Amino acid sequence: MVRTDSETASGVTLDLPRARECAIESVSLIGSEQAGIINTFGKTLAESIDGEEIISKGTVIGPSEMSMLARMGKPGIAVRRKPKVAVITTGADVVEIVEDIRPGQVRNVARYEIVGMVLESGCEVGRLIHVRDEASGLEKAISESLGSDAIIIALGSKDSHEIAVTALKNLGDIRFAQVRLAPGFATAFAMVEGRPAFIVPEAAALESFEALIRPALLTMLGRTAVDRKKVTATISAAVKLDSKLTHYIRALTVFEDGRYVVKPFDSHRHECLNSLIVVGANVESVRRGDEVEVMMLA
């Protein structure tokens, strides 16, 4: 049988093709006496223990779950609606990627980096806004983004973290204005009319997103597993650290000779990046040959 809980504001009913890769919102499939319906373990429901949960709330719908639902004659299923995420970038010296670039200007790389990460997490993209004058335009941009379910603000290198935090404070409830993360110390978080809003420095958008934003978005998606795969790897170069902070270090990780080996990059290098070395606080340095925890990005 199918047990249906009360509907939630974040749920939506989708047909099976469109429901793929969404998380089941309010339905659990329970073992019954209906023979001939095969679960993912190869048992018929008649063979399963009475009341056994076959597909639980939060399960991400893949091919086997679609097959199960089709066998039950369920053309649609209640799933967690994919959140829309607004992306706001700032900077008077920032131009769009199709514009000619002049001395002193930079292209709006942060927008596309964050959009890519949002889509990879399974969410949809909402408003895309660029603010050239942070002091006068950021509050308006945040207000115009409230049609989305979450907001990410990527601050340009010359813009003020304090002004951005004040803008969020004027519109919502600041939960924290800084975090002990390197890079990404200037990451902030607020709730604005029930929507999570994050400030990240554009140079540390990747680290802040992986450490804080991606887990939050996956939770909004109804996912029960929000952590990236982590492995233990041998580091190929020494790294000095600030012991007061948790460090996320861009890196290339490979598997060779029966073990993982990780090469750290500086924060400005992107080539061949596939992982982040994660080193907790109270560590002053990592020596070449030490074993470290690595978060795999691909």
CA angle 170, 219, 131 (to 5 degrees): 35
Dump pLDDT digits (tens) for 29-79. 554 433 333 333 344 433 444 455 667 777 888 888 888 778 777 777 788
Q: How many helices and strands in the chain, by DSSP H and E?
A: 7, 21
Q: What pTM did the predictor assign?
A: 0.84
Predicted pLDDT of residue 3: 30
Cβ neighbours around 224 below 10 Å, total: 12
Which CATH number is associated with domain 230-296? 2.40.340.10
- Mean pLDDT, all residues of the chain: 86
**Which H or E run contains 113?**
helix 109-120
Dump pLDDT digits (tens) for 124-149. 999 999 999 999 899 999 999 999 99
Non-local CB neighbours of 202 within 8 Å, separated by 6+ positions: 89, 91, 109, 110, 154, 155, 156, 157
Dump pLDDT digits (tens) for 221-278. 988 889 999 999 999 999 999 999 999 999 999 999 999 999 999 766 666 799 999 9
CATH architecture of 84-220: 3-Layer(aba) Sandwich (3.40)
C-alpha span between 231 and 241 (Å, rounded): 20
Is the alpha carbon torsion for 93, 98, 102, 106 positive or negative? positive
Tokens representing residue 148 in the block: 């989305």
- Give the N- to C-terminal CA distance of the chain in Å, as an integer: 38
% helix / strand / coil in the chain, to the nearest 5? Answer: 25, 35, 40
Domains of the chain: which residue ranges?
A: 2-80, 84-220, 230-296
Tell how strand 94-95 and strand 53-55 pair up.
Answer: unpaired
